[in-house]
Amino acid sequence: MPTSHIKALIDNDIQKVWEVVFNVEKYKLWRSDLSQTEIINEKQFIEYSQEHFATTFTVTVVEPYKRWEFDMENSNMKGHWIGIFTPKGNQTEIEFTEDVQAKKWFMKPFVKSYLKKQQTQFVEDLKKSLKK
């Protein structure tokens, strides 16, 4: 299962960073890769890409201001995401790890680079949204 890992220092306190990342309903306001999100219940939500491709997320762990984990699945892949949030003075260190398995054999060579691209975009969008 390919794994992608990203660590970044965000120039904002942990409460603000957590609130923005955890508020799935407002993702469409700051994430450039999404057209919308849909909350199914307190444990599940769906993200829709700009091309309206749906990915379902099922929350498995929530430790406010520390850790958030979920399983994710769509017609192309399934996997698990772990987000670790650590206060560093007035800044926050985020560490995101994704383990994903391609469901289609021809996609396997591209999974790791796709994950890295997605993680990098998420961090860039997050930093921009927190500067506003």
pTM over 0.75: yes
Query: CATH code at 28?
Result: 3.30.530.20
Express each pLDDT in 22-38 by its tens digit.
999 999 999 999 999 99
Residues of the chain with pLDDT under 50: none
**Closest by CA position to 11, among listed 97, 93, 120:** 93
What pLDDT score was predicted for residue 33? 95
Domain count along the chain: 1
Domain span including residue 81? 3-131
pLDDT given for residue 106 in this prediction = 80
